[in-house]
Amino acid sequence: MSWKLFNTLTRSLQEFVPLDAGGKKADMYCCGPTVYDFAHIGNWRTFVFGDLVRRFLEFKGFDVQHVMNITDIDDKIIKRVRESKTSLRDFTSKFETAFFDDLKTLNCLAPHQTPRATEHIPEIISIIEKLTARGIAYKAPDSSVYFSIEKYRAGGHQYGQLVKLNFEEMRAGERVRSDEYEKEALADFALWKARVPEDGEVFWPSPWGEGRPGWHIECSAMSMKLLGPSFDLHLGGEDLMFPHHEDEIAQSEGAEVQPKGQRFVKYWLHGAHLLVEGKKMSKSLGNFFTLRDLLAKGFTGREIRFLLLQAHYRETFNFTIGGLDSARASLMGIDECLAKLRDLAGSAKGSAEATVVARFSGLLDDDLNIAGAWGVIFDWRRHTNKRMAENKIDASSAASALATWDKFDSVLGVGAPAEQEIPAELTALLDARQNARKAKDFKRADAIRDELKAKGWTIEDTPKGPKLKKA
């Protein structure tokens, strides 16, 4: 079945049809972190949503190319670098490393490419040159280069594709230098910001003098360089819709580098906000959490990911500590069911239960109906537990149930890490083998090794002693 998603560009549900003529490749760009601080749980909701989209595309057999940029130069970073009296790279590398550690903790698949803005200055300059050559960008008296909304519109382009804008209030020639501004402050925005004393040592040469790029042009340059001038999917949080994404469209389509009749991006997907304990996150309310704050409270990346995946991506989600406790209980229920199935299955093999997997993916096909998909999983678990309680599951149907879970989990990524999945009975066998070896009873030790092998496990010697690995 085909995947239907809500495209912000058309404000409607559309069937996903990739640009690739073979229908196999799907390219996606997700706006990545601005590495000026640790990402908070609201940011993580968006990144986990991006990971869900990527995993679902792969589940459906697409060959996905996932690009996520690192914003390592913008207004916020410049301010922090100045305050911390460090170099730009020293400052940003700390938060960049933390970001990738956190991404792993939440079991998000690593994007295929993670370009840094500071390493794409020539590509950024090249787009600005195209825009100035077309008369859409101009150098202002402050030596910065701005994007002229009036000239862009006069060329037949539409500004205000993702959001409705009121041009009545706009005064021609009015400019905004800051990276972030409200819809009401609609004005020509900065592509290249001329060097000012507050920038310190952070600047690059350009045809318009020393300076640095505006935030919006960075994403246009990196996405088009790595995915081409026209690609399938662009994702981000709904707070990025304006001005960031609107400006990305204007810059990229204003440069007119797309093949005739093609857009910069075919499908725009936006994830909704997150509230914490019913309120907008704020440091003064004490409900502002980074991922690290939650880990320090004793929750795991799995539990946090599970909770973030409960709500539909277009709905505001209320994240609570109580919700994390329930997530823990739900995961324990799943783990218990899987542990019993593993005991029953032994080394038996089985293929996934096609009907239930089809029901699961059919719900996700409907604009990622995640609540429906979880419903299928919990019904499946109840039914499986019941069959086990009635002794109606043999080794091969247990293996089949495990294969079914693997299908679910390839999309959701909430399964327990492999180390925790070793049944107690096998650990006991491993201990028995160690004791036999110590007693120099090698015959028995080898027999146990063979027994483990028959159950589908191999012994791996590590510096911390022998460990079991699924063969």
CB of residue 29 to Zn ion, shortest distance in Å? 8
User: Least CB distance from residue 274 to Zn ion, whole Å?
Assistant: 19
Choice between 137 and 219, CB closer to Zn ion: 219
Contact 409, 377 (CB under 8 A): no
Long-range contact set of residues 159-168: C-beta below 8 Å, sequence gap at least 24 = 159/246, 159/250, 160/246, 161/9, 161/246, 161/249, 162/8, 162/9, 162/241, 162/242, 162/245, 162/246, 162/249, 162/268, 163/241, 163/242, 163/246
Residue 216 CB, nearest approach to Zn ion (Å): 7
Return the number of the residue (159 or 306) whose C-beta is nearest Zn ion. Answer: 159
Tell me the closest approach of the beta carbon of residue 125 to Zn ion, in angstroms: 18
| Choices 108-116, 138-146, 214-222, 373-381 (CB under 5 A): range interacting with Zn ion | 214-222
**Total binding residues toward Zn ion, as defined by CB under 5 A:** 2
Contacts of 279 (CB under 8 A, 6+ apart): 285, 287
Return the number of the residue (31 or 368) whose C-beta is nearest Zn ion: 31
Residue 180 CA to residue 246 CA, distance in Å, equals 12
Our finding on whether 187 is near Zn ion (CB under 5 A) is no
Report the alpha-carbon distance of residue 409 to residue 403 in Å, rounded: 10
CB closer to Zn ion, 69 vs 404: 69
Is the bond leading into 205 cis (omega within 30 degrees of zero)? Answer: no
- Least CB distance to Zn ion at residue 61 (A): 28
Which window, 31-39, 155-163, 227-235, 460-468, contacts Zn ion (CB under 5 A)? 31-39
β pairing state of 231-237 and 25-30: parallel
Which segment (218-226, 268-276, 342-350, 407-415) binds Zn ion by CB under 5 A? Answer: 218-226
Site string for Zn ion, 118-137 (x = CB under 5 A): --------------------
Residue 336 beta carbon to Zn ion: minimum distance, rounded to whole angstroms:
42
Q: Could you please report the per-residue DSSP string of 298-324?
A: T--HHHHHHHHTSS-TTS-EEE-HHHH
Which among 290, 305, 308 has a CA at the least distance from the CA of 36?
290
Give yes or no for residue 30 binding Zn ion (CB under 5 A): no
Q: Residue 193 has which token pair?
A: 């910001």
Q: Is 219 in the site for Zn ion (CB under 5 A)?
A: yes
Choose which of 31, 67, 308, 448 interacts with Zn ion (CB under 5 A).
31
Dist CA 30 CA 51 (whole Å): 10
Scan for tokens 């360089």, then name that residue.
225
- Pair of tokens at residue 439: 């007693």
Shortest distance (Å) from residue 31 CB to Zn ion: 3
Q: Which stretch binds Zn ion (CB under 5 A): 8-16, 27-35, 154-162, 345-353?
A: 27-35
- Closest contact distance (angstroms) between CB of 34 and Zn ion is 9
Tell me the C-alpha distance between 356 and 184, whole Å.
49
- Interface residue list for Zn ion (CB under 5 A): 31, 219
